[in-house]
Amino acid sequence: MDEMRIVMTPRLLRLRRLVIGEVSRFPELARALFENGPQRSIQSLAIVISKLVQRGLLSAPSPAVAATTLNWLVLAAPVNEAMLLGDDAIPTTTAMKAHAAEATRVFLTAYDSDTAA
């Protein structure tokens, strides 16, 4: 939840908009933002997911794919809304928590070790 609040700060959203708008002029800046933002979070999630798979709590043939899925289930809708509609579209903490809880529920249903094919 803390990472979601960080991603959804007006300052970071403005930086993201700026970098996306200038990606063709400054691709190295876009790559740095990606590597130190989404990619780093996904790698951290993949480590946790791998440990949960080893313990038999999740079924994920590829922890990296599962981590990517979880990351974007949680962040895609609120980030896209705020990116396109501006800072006034940043959800409240309560709304972020509810969205993250639902995204996590969906993820756990998909990767449940008891029901996975």
> For residue 51, is pLDDT > 80?
yes
pTM: 0.88
Residue 116 has a pLDDT of 55
How many whole angstroms separate alpha carbon 38 and alpha carbon 30? 11
How many whole angstroms separate alpha carbon 31 and alpha carbon 39? 10
DSSP 112: B
Q: Percent of the chain at pLDDT above 90?
A: 91
Interval 6-33 mean pLDDT: 95
Residue-wise pLDDT tens digits, 70-102: 999 999 999 999 999 999 999 999 999 999 999
> For residue 115, is pLDDT > 80?
no
